Structure 1
Amino acid sequence: YSDQALSGIGGDDTPLAMVSRRFEVGEQRARSLLAGAGVAIEMQEKKIAALSGGQRSRLMMLVLRLINPNFYLLDEPTNHLDIDGQEALEEELLKHQASCLLASHDRSFIRAVGNRFWLIEKRRLTEVDSPEAFFRSVAETGC
């Protein structure tokens, strides 16, 4: 699970300490994983609270990848990500092929990773053929 506030990662720890300790991968492997996830070496020993929103998002996705779930629950996962980060997230979700329930306002992201779509309207959940139905609903209602 990853929420918009990225509450799954504490701000007082460092990325290096958190990954090393939580996943018992050792310092060198943790550094490599963090660099591969977009957390630069110079940021790996700074407090997580000092990271940019994009770096924290990338760190959260690394944590989720290392947990190796078969189901992701993602609330606005592209918040704080630049284009490279969004593309990396898309690639990760498509490559891993885990089930994923996500809420996002990012239309291109939804189109890229989604294969089933549900519209919640007037307290009813309805499966629709494409995301265009709820894009139209949002445009019409402003919600």
Structure 2
Amino acid sequence: IIRRFDVGDQRARALLAGAGMTIDMQAKPIGQLSGGQKARLGMLVLRLAEPNFYLLDEPTNHLDIEGQEALESELMAHEASCLLVSHDRSFVRAVGNRFWLIEKKRLVEVESPEGFFASVGG
């Protein structure tokens, strides 16, 4: 974080702690982190890069509940657009505000995720 972003050591440690990375985790190589920890670190990097668009494919797959809640909060607080694909109905309901279904090779907007969920047999 320090090498990639101009935040300084103390700020980097505070940002990492805010992303759920304990002091012990901060000293580990990234390869030794769990999938959820890597995902939280990745979201921190994205936030610091300040993108105006997120493209997310199954972003909650490797997150624990705390990580999912952090991701939801991050997406809701950030004013970036986001196109995501997810089977996590709770997540889709929490962060989505427009919903599309690919049906017979056409992109169709539906009123709510419930319309989408109903059309895929669930």
The interval holding the TM-score normalised by the smaller chain is: over 0.9
- The answer to whether 1:120 aligns with 2:102 is yes
CA deviation vs aligned residue, 1:27-54 (integer Å, no higher than 9, x gap): 2211111111011110112111110011
Alignment of 1:73-84 (within 5 A): 73-84=55-66
Distance in 2 of aligned mates of 1:47 and 1:27:
17
Q: CA deviation at 1:102?
A: 0.6
Distance 2:112 2:71 in 1: 21
Gaps of 5+ in 2: none
Q: Percent identity?
A: 75
Q: What TM-score comes out, normalization by structure 1 length? A: 0.80
Q: Distance in 1 between matches of 2:31 and 2:80?
A: 29
Which string of whole-angstrom CA distances, capped at 9 and with x for unpartnered residues, describes residues 79-105 of structure 1? Answer: 111111111111111111211111111
Count of paired positions: 122
CA distance in 1, matches of 2:31, 2:61: 16
- Secondary structure of the structure 2 residue equivalent to 1:74: strand
- After superposition, residues 1-143 of structure 1 pair within 5 angstroms as 19-139=1-121
- Cα distance in 2 for partners of 1:92, 1:79 equals 17
TM-score between the two structures when normalised by the length of structure 2 = 0.93
Aligned AA for 1:115? N
How far did 1:137 drift?
Answer: 2.4
1:47 counterpart letter in structure 2: P
In the alignment, structure 1 segments of 5+ residues that lack a partner are 1-18
Question: Quick check: 26-35 or 50-59, which moved more?
Answer: 26-35
Is the partner of 1:38 in helix, strand or coil?
coil
